[in-house]
Structures are given as structure tokens and as C-alpha cells.
Structure 1
Amino acid sequence: METVFVIYRSNGEDFRFDHEYFESEHLPLVRESWEQYGLESSTAVYPKGEGDIVVVAVNHFRDEEAARAAFSSPESEAVMNDIVRYTDLTPTRLRGVSFTY
């Protein structure tokens, strides 16, 4: 399984992040857009405590090829263009391999 973390970090200044829109509109758009390419789940994680991470979207794909296909798909344009609707932060991506025990 391939996991892609999409991390939103605060910029140390005022920023906008609409949690409700992110959860009710953006994550369903991600699922609808990428499920056909092998997205198995997408979860929002809000870290507690001090730090600059606002939210991490944890996206589990069937495998690395599925993740690459999803992010390079024509549907990705709609997913990326939707970001400005809920935040002015720039997300970063981190890929990894997941193991379930």
C-alpha cells in the first residue's frame, strides 16, 4: 500500500483554513476523483499541541502506481484547483509505504 500525506503547515502569520469545507467538500472530491485510480481511503488528521501543522490528509492507495496515476490524472486539476476554496496555505506531499499488522 502507498500512502500520500498532504501536509498543510501554518506560515507563522494569519492564514485561512476552512475545516468544514475541507471535510465536507474537498475530501469527497478527492475520493470521487481518485477512487477509480486506486485510492482506498482519505482521512483528515488534526495534530494536537503546539506546532505548525494545521492538518494532514492521509491518502491510502492500492500501490505506488495507483498513487502516481491518480496525481497525474485529468481529475487532479479539479482537486488542485479546489484548494483555494478552503485555504491560502500551500500543501506539501510526502509519500511512503504503509504496512498493516
Structure 2
Amino acid sequence: MSPTKPGAIITVLYKRTPDLKFDLGYFQTTHVPLASKFWLPRGLMEAHAVIPTAESEFAFAMTMYWKSLEAWEDAMKVKEEMEVIRGDVGQFTNGAPLFVVGKVLP
């Protein structure tokens, strides 16, 4: 595996629903930097906000590249940081995030 290839890719999806509220500005300028502050030292390599096409069943997505699946799992175990990150979600959406967690094949 090359040093720049991630070990895990985590995708967070927000389903397109008639009542979905999503403040993309807040998400990009506040939530992503907040999560990155905690997660970059723990193995987050990069993250990208994604707007799916209108035909998609999902309205918004975030794709995160992690050094390893273990790094992601360890970051999820840091209770204080996760409380802050999860507590901020309601500031930008009323939607429930759906996580797709995957290990990158060699």
C-alpha cells in the first residue's frame, strides 16, 4: 500500500426527504473544521463534502479517507470528542446520518 492510499473510507449520507433541512454553509465552515480538529491527529487524511445528483436518493454526503479502519474505530471511542461532534449535527440538519464504513482493499 502506498503511503498516500487510505486504509478506510467512511461515507456519511443524508437521505433526501421532503422535510430535510441542511445548512451547507454551517456544515462546511463550522462542522467539518470541528470534526477535523479532533480527527486529523487521529488518522483522518482528508474529507470531501459531496452534493449528489438530483436523481440520487441522498441529498448530501461526506466522504472521509482514514489511515486505517482501526484509526476510525479508535476515534469513535473518544467519548468527549464524539459528544461534541454529534452534539453539533443538529446545528446544520434535522436528518439522520447514515454511515457506510469500509476497509480499502489492497
What TM-score does the superposition give when structure 1 sets the normalisation length? 0.89
Instruction: Tell me, in whole angstroms, the C-alpha distance in 2 between the residues paired with 1:85 and 1:29.
Output: 12
Match of 2:88 among 76, 82, 85: 82
Counterpart amino acid of 2:57? D
- Unaligned 5+ residue runs, structure 1? none
Q: Aligned residue for 1:96? A: 102
Q: Aligned residue for 2:47? A: 42
What is the aligned-residue identity percentage?
26
Given that 1:34 and 1:75 are in contact with CA atoms closer than 8 Å, whether structure 2 keeps it comes out as: no
Instruction: Tell me, in whole angstroms, the C-alpha distance in 2 between the residues paired with 1:40 and 1:76.
Output: 18
Cα deviation, residue 99, structure 1: 5.9
What TM-score does the superposition give when structure 2 sets the normalisation length? 0.85
Q: Deviations over 1:20-53 (max 9, x none)?
A: 0011111111110111211111110111231221
Q: Aligned residue for 2:4? A: none
Computed over aligned residues only, the root mean square deviation of the Cα atoms, in angstroms, reads 1.5
Instruction: Tell me, in whole angstroms, the C-alpha distance in 2 between the residues paired with 1:51 and 1:77.
Output: 30
Cα deviation, residue 67, structure 1: 0.4
Counterpart amino acid of 1:90? A
